[in-house]
Every structure is written in structure tokens, then in C-alpha cells.
């Protein structure tokens, strides 16, 4: 449980009575999900109990904090949010800002079934539509069917994998993807497999596809960035996230790429950050922490380093 002194000091900071950013980083960066939940429940001036049983930020305070913290504020606000609300707001922003289809795929395919269901419930509560409804209405490109399918998925998460079925589906994918272009029927087959099978089953398909073709599945669909991102998020998320982080940490990165730095670190700090750091170091020859120290500045840098340190080495 969060210490009462910490809750009180954070409440003062979030009330606009000056902000000790170093104190915020020190306290928030070490809190576990249960401690952040206690903070949400203990500070009712900032959070509203939603009828779907999660604590959502009061919109007025989000606006206030965004004026207060500059770039650090996005990471601070996102870190203290309930994960369902955080993902729901990321989905909304991704749909209307760009749109950023990769973020929709990222959330749909790297969250557990319960986490994705919670995000969909939060989206409905916050925006009075379903995310599937908004995607179906606003997306007019070929990605629509894939996006609706993965966002509405509720996958089996048990340990059982039918290896024979996985082999057959790997062969089916190799036959389909080996063609020069996917027709509508082929696309439906790929989307059905990617949106309905468990992640363990898909990893088995990924392995068998390599054995059959000599290539990895995401390599053979290089020309379709959305399918490639879907496969990576489902089968090799650490590879996907390390690539996103690399793009965000380049000196010539655009603003959207830079925003991904906060998003990935905040959303993965309690999940698979250890694996992401290992993949990043192996792929780019430098530790993620060292790269952040080179590129980011000030308290924002310190907060990110605090979060990635939670997973150990």
C-alpha cells in the first residue's frame, strides 16, 4: 500500500501547489500497480469511480497537469492512470491522430484478453462508443477488417497448443503468402488465424512457418506493414517494441516517434520490459538506459530511467 505521506505529497503536487518533480519521480517510479490503485482510491478529488469498476482521471485535472509538466506530464499522467483508461485514451488518440494504426495493433495484440476487454469497456465509458464501432466508421482503408478483428478478439490463454493444427495453419499461411498478391479470400484466412488463435498457438505457427519456408513469417510479409506489426506484436513483442524505441530515440525522430518513447516505457514497465531491454541491447549494441541518457533530458529522462530500472537487468 502507498505510504500516507507519499499520497499526501503527491496530492499536493497534483493540486497545483508547486510540483517537486524529483519527488514525483522517486515515489511514482517505485510504486507497483496495487500502490497506484490505492493512490487513485485515496485521492477522490482527482479520480472518479466509474460504473464499470475502475477509477478514471478527472478530465479537468488532466488538463491542469498537462500545463504543469510539459513532456514529463504525459508519462506521469499515463503512469498513474488505471491501465484500462490509459489504453482506452491511447486507442482514441491513435484513431484520430494520424490515424496511427500501429498503436491500435500494438494495444490489441500485446495485452492479455482481460486487459483488452478492460480497455474496450473503458473506451465505451469514456467516449460513449465502442472502439470497434469507431474503427469501422472512421477507417476506410483495407486495414479496417484486420483492426476490427484484433481489437474485438478474446483469445484463449491456457497452455494447450495443438501442434498438428499449428503445422497445418503454418502451411496454409506459407501457401497464401507465397503468392504475388493476397486476394480477398487469402486476406480473410490470414486475418482469421491472427485474430482468433492464442498467442502460444501463433508462436507455434511462427516456429513451423520458419521450418517450412526457411524465413520468419514477419519477414515474408515485409510489404504489408500492418500484418507485419500484428505478427510481431503477437509472436515477438520484444522485437516490435525494441524497434519502436529505436525509432523514438533517434536524433532526427519526428514528434509522433518521440511520443512512442513514453507510451512504450509506461505501458511495458510492469510487463515485459526486461525482455525488451535485452532485445534492444542485442539488436542495437547499446543498453536502452544508456541510449535514453544520451537523448532525453532532465526529470523526464530520470523518470524513464526509473521505470525501466523496475524490471532489473
Place of cell 484486420: 146
CATH architecture of 163-235: Orthogonal Bundle (1.10)
**pTM more than 0.85:** no
Local confidence pLDDT in tens for the 313 residues of the chain: 566 778 877 776 666 545 567 777 778 888 889 988 888 888 877 888 888 878 888 887 777 666 556 677 788 889 999 999 999 999 999 999 878 999 999 999 999 999 999 999 999 999 999 999 999 999 999 999 999 999 999 999 999 999 999 999 999 999 999 876 788 899 999 999 999 999 999 999 999 999 999 999 999 998 899 999 999 999 999 999 999 999 999 988 888 898 999 999 999 999 999 999 999 999 999 999 999 999 887 788 889 999 999 877 6
The enclosing H or E element of 47 equals strand 47-49
Per-residue pLDDT at 232: 98
Q: What are phi and psi of 55, to 5 degrees?
A: -100, 120
The correct CATH number of 97-154 out of 3.90.226.10, 1.10.510.10, 3.30.420.10, 1.10.220.10 is: 1.10.220.10
Compute the distance between CA of residue 220 and CA of residue 178 in angstroms, rounded to an integer: 8
Per-residue pLDDT at 67: 55
CA dist 50 to 56, 126, 247, Å?
7, 9, 36
For domain 238-309, the question of CATH label 3.40.50.300 is answered with no
> What cell does 98 get?
494520424
Closest to 237 measured CA to CA, from 212, 266, 274, 205: 274
Same fold across 1-81 and 163-235: yes
> What cell does 164 get?
498438428
Determine whether the annotation assigns residue 285 to a binding site: no
Residue-range domain boundaries for the chain: 1-81, 97-154, 163-235, 238-309
Per-residue pLDDT at 174: 95
> What cell does 185 get?
479470400
The enclosing H or E element of 57 equals strand 55-57
The correct CATH number of 1-81 out of 3.40.190.10, 1.10.10.10, 1.10.3720.10, 1.10.220.10 is: 1.10.220.10
Compute the distance between CA of residue 4 and CA of residue 9 in angstroms, rounded to an integer: 9
Determine whether the annotation assigns residue 16 to a binding site: yes
Helical ranges in 15-58 per DSSP H: 21-28, 33-42
Cβ neighbors of 268 (< 8 A, separation 6 or more) are 241, 276
Instruction: Evaluate whether 144 touches 135 at the Cβ level (below 8 Å).
Output: yes
Instruction: Evaluate whether 100 touches 147 at the Cβ level (below 8 Å).
Output: no
Place of cell 517537486: 20
In this structure, which long-range contacts are made by residues 23-28, counting pairs with CB atoms below 8 Å and at least 24 apart in sequence? 24/76, 24/303, 25/299, 25/302, 25/303, 25/306, 26/306, 28/76, 28/79, 28/80, 28/303
Per-residue pLDDT at 234: 98
Compute the distance between CA of residue 77 and CA of residue 247 in angstroms, rounded to an integer: 23
Q: What are phi and psi of 47, to 5 degrees?
A: -120, 145
Amino acid at each position: 500500500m502507498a505510504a500516507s505521506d507519499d499520497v499526501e505529497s503527491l496530492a499536493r503536487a497534483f493540486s497545483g501547489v508547486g510540483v517537486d518533480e524529483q519527488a514525483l519521480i522517486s515515489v511514482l517510479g517505485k510504486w507497483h500497480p496495487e500502490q497506484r490503485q490505492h493512490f487513485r482510491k485515496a485521492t477522490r478529488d482527482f479520480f472518479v469511480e466509474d460504473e464499470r469498476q475502475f477509477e478514471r482521471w478527472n478530465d479537468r485535472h488532466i488538463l491542469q497537469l498537462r500545463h504543469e509538466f510539459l513532456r514529463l506530464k504525459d508519462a506521469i499522467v499515463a503512469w498513474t492512470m488505471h491501465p484500462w483508461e490509459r489504453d482506452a485514451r491511447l486507442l482514441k488518440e491513435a484513431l484520430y491522430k494520424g490515424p496511427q494504426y500501429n498503436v491500435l495493433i500494438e494495444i490489441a495484440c500485446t495485452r492479455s484478453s482481460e486487459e483488452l476487454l478492460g480497455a474496450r469497456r473503458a473506451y465505451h465509458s469514456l467516449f460513449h462508443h465502442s472502439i470497434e464501432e469507431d474503427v469501422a466508421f472512421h477507417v476506410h482503408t483495407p486495414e479496417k477488417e484486420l483492426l476490427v478483428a484484433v481489437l474485438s478478439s478474446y483469445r484463449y490463454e491456457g497452455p494447450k497448443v495443438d501442434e498438428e493444427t499449428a503445422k497445418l495453419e503454418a502451411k496454409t499461411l506459407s501457401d497464401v503468402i507465397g503468392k504475388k498478391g493476397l486476394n480477398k479470400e487469402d486476406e480473410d484466412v490470414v486475418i482469421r488465424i491472427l485474430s482468433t488463435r492464442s498467442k502460444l498457438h501463433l508462436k507455434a505457427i511462427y516456429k513451423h512457418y520458419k521450418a517450412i519456408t526457411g524465413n520468419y513469417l514477419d519477414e515474408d510479409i515485409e510489404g504489408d506493414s500492418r500484418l507485419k506489426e500484428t505478427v510481431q506484436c503477437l509472436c515477438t513483442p520484444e522485437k516490435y517494441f525494441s524497434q519502436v524505441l529505436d525509432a523514438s530515440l533517434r536524433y532526427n525522430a519526428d514528434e509522433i516517434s518521440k511520443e512512442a518513447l513514453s507510451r512504450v516505457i509506461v505501458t511495458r514497465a510492469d510487463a515485459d520490459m526486461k525482455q525488451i531491454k535485452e532485445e534492444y541491447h542485442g539488436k542495437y549494441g547499446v543498453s536502452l538506459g544508456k541510449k535514453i541518457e544520451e537523448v532525453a533530458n532532465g526529470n523526464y529522462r530520470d523518470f524513464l530511467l526509473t521505470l525501466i530500472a523496475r524490471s532489473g537487468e
